[in-house]
Amino acid sequence: MTKPIYVTQPHLPPLEEFIPYLQQIWDNKILTNNGPFHRQLEQALCEYLGVEHLALFTNGTIALVTALQALRIGGEVITTPYSFVATAHSLLWNNIKPVFVDIDPVTCNLDPDRIEEAITPQTTAIMPVHCYGNPCAVERIQNIADTYGLKVIYDAAHAFGVRYKGASLLRHGDLSVLSFHATKVFNTFEGGAIVCPDAKTKQRIDYLKNFGFANEVTITAPGINGKMSEINAAFGLLQLKHIDAALLRRRQIETRYRKELAQVLGISMLPVQTDTHGNAAYFPILIDEAYPLDRDTLYQIMKAAGIHGRRYFYPLISDMPMYRGSESAKHDNLKIAKQVADRVICLPIYPGLNDEQIGEVISVIFAQSSMPDEVCGKAHEMTTGSRI
Ligand code: T4K
């Protein structure tokens, strides 16, 4: 092993391709506030993703906070404990009480069978997460929302480019929120967006992300500064030129992991979802009892070997100090989420990961397994081309 292998590494286009964009910014001196690159990127992303309207943001978290404001959500919101902290934090920033509901073990997303029992007179919305880019049960969730008069805001931070039943997954719900953070499939260094179905909502969101300004003298709401800068937007336009190749490479890596790790006793993977064209944003594995080591021991051994997988998402959000006091945060209510959080490791997956590095990741997992030596040796041959 030459250098550490991280769970992800941002995809960066050749530096020289970015210089002409910088030159334009230097020439026209528009740095932010809905500049030309900002407008172009909104348009280009709508076309690429197949959505009607999209408002760029400085990051995904501010986009989540603003999405809740845009729909005037208050009271209680049903959400998942199995996500990155920003999902629930966006609720607290709006003075909303998160109500945690358990996840489905097959998708790691909100279990639609558990949502209705969590609805109270105070519930105003559901905020599910398309975890790892796997689609939530979008039809069932919409059905529940329609029945109870609730809004649906998807945290789609992982779902860039995911297609479900032949169309963008981002077309579901009232709003979907993307993250363009450095660690995401599509990055603008920092960045994010709200996808919305109609021009009026997009306008309201645009006001909210610019302090509430509708024009020079009309301030419509106590908005925030959530604007994406021209540098980030320009970088996004360049990134879009390379995104298909990046997604292709991710899917190749996923295919190899799936094929080779299927042989390891005690390692399970989330099933490929039907009707979905995924983005291979993450590659989670679950460490079961049949594997000789528990999750944390394997995690540490991998780390010692220079392979920095991540326990996304451990600990559960509901176990964090600002959430654990609530009734819905109790482990009895979140049994599946707890089990998954205690067993998961996300393996390295990113376009720059080369075949040899993938082989190293697989070899470490094989080497610790209870597979007979000859099987481990064969696996190592498959992955690295040499014997242990
Ligand atoms: N909702 C969901 C479901 C999310 O997953 C996220 C973000 C959000 C909302 C909020 O969106 P943003 O406001 O972030 O746009 C990372 C990211 O910081 C976070 O964006 C992401 N989710 C979360 C899942 O992962 P950490 O604490 O694991 O990041 P960090 O810095 O440890 O990075 C992981 C690895 O990536 C590093 O070991 C090395 C590599 N890396 C990272 C950065 C930042 C690089 O190679 N270069 C880099 O610049 O949270």
In whole angstroms, give the CA distance from residue 357 to residue 369: 19
In whole angstroms, give the CA distance from residue 4 to residue 348: 11
Rg (CA), the chain: 22
Q: Which 3 state secondary structure label does DSSP give 322?
A: coil
The residue written with tokens 């639609």 in the block is 112
Q: Which atom of ligand 1 is nearest to the CA of 63?
A: 13
**What per-residue confidence (pLDDT) applies to 2?**
62
Q: Are strands 5-6 and 307-308 parallel, antiparallel or unpaired?
A: parallel
Q: Is the CB of 308 under 6 A from ligand 1?
A: yes
CA of 5 to the centre of ligand 1 (A): 15
Closest CA to 302 of 384, 374, 367: 367
Q: Is the CB of 63 under 6 A from ligand 1?
A: no
Write the pLDDT tens digit of every residue in 295-338: 999 999 999 999 999 999 999 999 999 999 999 999 999 999 99
Mean pLDDT (10-residue bins), the chain, 388 residues: 88 96 98 98 98 98 98 98 98 98 97 98 98 98 98 98 98 98 98 97 98 96 97 98 98 97 96 95 97 96 97 98 97 98 98 97 90 53 39
Number of C-alpha atoms within 13 angstroms, CB side, residue 192?
A: 24
Residues 6+ apart with CB under 8 A from 196: 52, 53, 54, 55, 70, 174, 175, 202, 205
Q: Which atom of ligand 1 is nearest to the CA of 131?
A: 3
Q: Is the CB of 309 under 6 A from ligand 1?
A: no
The per-residue DSSP string of 179-216 comes to E--TTSSS--SS-EEEEESSHHHHHHHHHHTBTTBSSS
Dihedral angle over CA of 56, 316, 6, 283, nearest 10: -80
Write the pLDDT tens digit of every residue in 257-299: 999 999 999 999 999 998 999 999 999 999 999 999 999 999 9
CA of 183 to the centre of ligand 1 (A): 5
Q: Which atom of ligand 1 is nearest to the CA of 308?
A: 38
Helical (H) or strand (E) element with 344 = strand 344-347
Q: Is the CB of 317 under 6 A from ligand 1?
A: no
Residues 264 and 372: beta-carbon distance below 8 Å: no
**What per-residue confidence (pLDDT) applies to 13?**
96
CA of 263 to the centre of ligand 1 (A): 30
Q: Is the CB of 59 under 6 A from ligand 1?
A: yes
Closest protein CA for atom 30 of ligand 1: 183
CA of 104 to the centre of ligand 1 (A): 24
Instruction: Output 371-376 pairs: Cβ under 8 A, ≥24 positions apart.
Output: 371/263, 371/264, 371/265, 375/263
Mutate to test the pocket of ligand 1, among 12, 92, 183 (most ligand atoms within 8 A of CB): 183
Q: Are strands 192-196 and 53-57 parallel, antiparallel or unpaired?
A: antiparallel
Q: Which atom of ligand 1 is nearest to the CA of 310?
A: 28
Six token digits for residue 209: 């992300």
